[in-house]
Structure 1
């Protein structure tokens, strides 16, 4: 099993007594939610209970805090779906709740209700209209370099208010899209509607080796431009600030992360999406448009 640790493990380090996962201990802990629904795709939810700061963070301890017996209902106000759970061995925790009938549509509002033991956790989000990526390029400072960064272009609609997130996934190395470092954007800060910017690799896991923000020759990179809500932007900006302050994604400096989860902590996010697949090459820059 690949030893991946998800972003929101940083949220798990809250002050509470040791959690042996009995009902009493779960009452004392918090429910950690990482959940999203994208335009043209179905809902995904990851559930855990909070891990005390006094406990060690390793794959065994993470598995002990996974919640896989909750009832999760997603609704768009007209139709609803109870999510199923599957085992994804590429992830830790490896259990993902997923939808298969209620597909995300731009402009719609989606509610999530989680029922677990005697607890009810709720959240609401909206999927913004997607904005298309125009191009993505792999750029190296010098021709002899073996690493580089991604340079993206897109047009911000002048008549619309948009918040963005740029995320990447390296094929064979990352099981999910990782928000790029400083890749959460508010269009109020744009000087032009024609956006051109460098993207650095974001942090997915507790690194066993020194983290570098670069991509590497030979990488097959999935590049995604997401439109998101202001609540989602605020969450990811606060998460990024925790990483910067603590310099470690597993132990954030405090637990003041923004959240739109009622009865728990984390995020329920609706995203518009546009994707480009980029094959890097050691001989020349490559672009798939």
Structure 2
């Protein structure tokens, strides 16, 4: 399996304006978190220290900033568990903190506490109600094409406020679900309760091949519709804006990414989730 990275949190490479450039160089590095817990799944957390703006950013340097010896506790207010760090060779960075006791449940609140050296980092999130995917299809512009796009359909619940994220994973090629480009949705922009969306492939960091926004024949594609909170929507939108503005998702422009982490940077998010699979036609 090819090694990819969605370690978006290294986007916090001391994001700053030019006026603050020199002062930011002198600041102590910050703990950066990318953590989530989905409905009916265990928590996962990626942990690093922020990368100085003067450093070269590549896969080797990223590994040098990974934090592997923190104590991470997740709690639903009744049950608590300390996450265990595992080496996942299919991911970059390969060190991920996993839960094995608490499974995410709709409507529950989950707290995150990170203890590392003399620092404590905390956050809270709630898992929103899941909205089921109705259908997912792989559609080509022309029958003879070997590429196409994924289209999904779902019903946005009436009289409920919802925020969504669409993510995809290609079996055997991507070890994780990758947020789709322009896949963060606010239901205030929907024209009707029945929603149809084109899904564009998300941006991967350190890919083996050139980025392509479409999908190709011969792949098994998993499509996930996540419900998320406003804090997560704001975070992912700000991350996406960095890609659009600077054309480099690991080197943000002049504004910091949104964060709900107290004492650090990044995101701790709860997601409802509904997943469908699509088998594309065999390669000719």
TM over 0.5: yes
- Using the TM superposition, give the Cα deviation of residue 247 of structure 1 relative to its aligned residue in structure 2, in angstroms: 0.9
Q: Which residue of 1 aligns with 2:247?
A: 247
8 Å CA contact 2:166, 2:179 repeated in 1? yes
Q: Distance in 1 between matches of 2:258 and 2:8?
A: 12
Q: Secondary structure at the match of 1:100?
A: strand
Q: Does 1:279 align with 2:279?
A: yes
Output aligned runs, 1:74-113, within 5 Å. 74-113=74-113
What is the match of residue 262 of structure 2?
262
1:35 deviation in Å? 0.3
Q: C-alpha separation between the residues in 2 aligned to 1:46 and 1:144? A: 42
Distance 1:283 1:48, change over 3 A: closer
- Write the distance in 2 (CA, Å) between the matches of 1:252 and 1:15: 6
8 Å contact from structure 1 (residues 218, 280) kept in 2: yes
Give the distance between the partners of 2:207 and 2:251, measured in 1 at CA: 13
1:135 matched residue in structure 2: 135
Question: Could you say if the C-alpha distance between residues 207 and 2 of structure 1 is closer, same or farther in structure 2, counting changes exceeding 3 Å?
Answer: closer
Q: Corresponding residue for 1:218? A: 218
Deviation of the 1:219 alpha carbon: 1.2
On the 8 A contact 2:2/2:208 being kept in 1, the answer is no
Distance across 2 between alignment mates of 1:10 and 1:244: 17
Shift of 1:15: 6.3
Deviation string 1:38-82 (CA, Å, 9 cap, x unpaired) is 010010000011111221222221111110100000011111111
State the secondary structure of the residue aligned to 2:100. coil
Q: In 2, distance between residues paired with 1:9 and 1:80?
A: 25
CA shift, 1:11, in A, is 1.9
- Partner residue of 1:126? 126
Structure 1: gaps (5+ residues): 17-24, 285-289
Match of 1:287 in 2: none
Measure how far apart 1:176 and its partner are: 0.8
The answer on whether the counterparts of 2:169 and 2:222 sit within 8 Å (CA) in structure 1 is yes
Aligned to 1:69: 69
Q: CA RMSD in A?
A: 2.0
Query: Does residue 172 of the first structure (1) align with residue 188 of the second (2)?
Result: no
Partner-residue secondary structure (3-state), 2:234:
helix
Q: How many residues were matched structurally?
A: 276
- Residue aligning to 1:199: 199
Mapped contact 2:38–2:270 kept (Cα < 8 A): yes
1:206-236 C-alpha deviation (Å, 9 max, x unpaired): 3454321000101111100000000000000
Per-residue deviation, residues 230-268 of structure 1 (Å, max 9, x unmatched): 000000001000100011112121351100001111100
**1:74–1:164 CA distance, 2 compared to 1 (3 A):** same
Deviating above 3 A after TM superposition, structure 1's stretches of 4 or more consecutive aligned residues are 206-210
Contact 1:10 1:252 in 2 (8 A): no
Preserved contact between residue 123 and residue 268 of structure 1 (Cα < 8 Å)? yes
Give the TM-score normalised by structure 2.
0.92
TM-score normalised per structure 1:
0.91
> Distance between the aligned counterparts of 1:187 and 1:15, measured in 2?
30
Give SS of 2:60's match: helix
CA distance in 2, matches of 1:197, 1:9: 27
CA 207–100 in structure 1, closer or farther in 2 if over 3 Å, else same:
closer
Question: How many angstroms apart in 2 are the aligned matches of 1:204 and 1:122?
Answer: 27
C-alpha distance in 2, partners of 1:35/1:15?
20
1:9 Cα deviation from its structure 2 partner:
4.6
- Cα deviation, residue 84, structure 1: 0.6
Q: Is the CA contact 1:33–1:45 (under 8 Å) kept in the aligned structure 2?
A: yes
